């Protein structure tokens, strides 16, 4: 089936990584950051956190579209890192980034990414998530501090970027690589079919 070029994606994110991933699908898209509230109760399960925040981001952009955009599907996404049941978000400083890396090194952790799509014409909503297990090698304190000082992980959940220098920290991935980058493309492409957007 041909890609439906009459519809486009509005990505509710300012993330350069998600922008690059969406661009790789060769579907017309626009970027509108959501500025949605990202606080959640501490007792929420990881899958609930990413699903709710992805939906919150997409819904915030959907509500902001005046007039409504019937031609668009709004896509929101959220990623967190979970280590032994503890949620790691984005570090607020290089010191916190180093602390996160110390806890992650030599262990496996899970990366959860939620994806939410809202039809600009009908308001139909679809939300799902993916989980990938990542194993990080043991790091020396020198390596921890050097990577934290690079600043690469400061705006990323878990304080590392698997597509950058952080690739040197990871020994194994079980699941979708793009899920760790911040947007599981296989999941998104399946979800978009529900809105008559066919990547292939």
Residues acting as catalytic residues: 78
Torsion, Cα of 76, 82, 85, 87 (10° steps): -70
Cα angle 150, 152, 155; round to 5: 135
SS3 31: strand
What is the helix (H) or strand (E) element at residue 51, kind and residue range? helix 46-64
Joined tokens for residue 133: 């297990």
Q: How far apart are the first and last CA of the chain?
A: 7
Q: Kindly tell me the sign of the dihedral angle through the C-alpha atoms of 12, 147, 108, 46.
A: negative
CA within 13 Å, CB half, 30: 13
Return d(Cα 14, Cα 30) in angstroms, integer: 11
Joined tokens for residue 5: 């070029």
Task: Tell me the residue ranges of DSSP E strands in the chain.
Answer: 8-11, 29-31, 72-83, 86-88, 108-119, 125-136, 170-174
């Amino acid at each position: 089936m041909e890609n439906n070029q009459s519809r486009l994606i509005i990505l509710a994110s300012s993330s350069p990584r998600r922008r690059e991933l969406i661009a790789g699908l060769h579907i017309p898209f626009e970027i509108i950051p959501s500025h949605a509230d990202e606080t959640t109760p501490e007792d929420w399960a990881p899958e609930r956190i990413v699903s709710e925040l992805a939906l919150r981001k997409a819904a915030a952009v959907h509500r902001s579209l005046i007039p409504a955009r019937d031609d668009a599907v709004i896509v929101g996404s959220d990623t967190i890192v979970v280590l032994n049941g503890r949620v790691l978000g984005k570090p607020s400083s290089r010191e916190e980034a180093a602390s996160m890396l110390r806890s992650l090194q030599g262990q496996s952790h899970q990366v959860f990414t939620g994806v939410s799509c809202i039809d600009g014409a009908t308001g139909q909503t679809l939300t799902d998530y993916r989980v990938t297990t990542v194993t990080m090698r043991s790091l020396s304190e020198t390596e921890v501090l050097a990577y934290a000082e690079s600043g690469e992980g400061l705006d990323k959940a878990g304080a590392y970027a698997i597509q950058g220098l952080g690739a040197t920290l990871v020994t194994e991935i079980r699941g979708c690589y793009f899920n760790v980058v911040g947007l599981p493309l296989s999941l998104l492409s399946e979800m978009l079919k529900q809105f008559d957007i066919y990547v292939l």
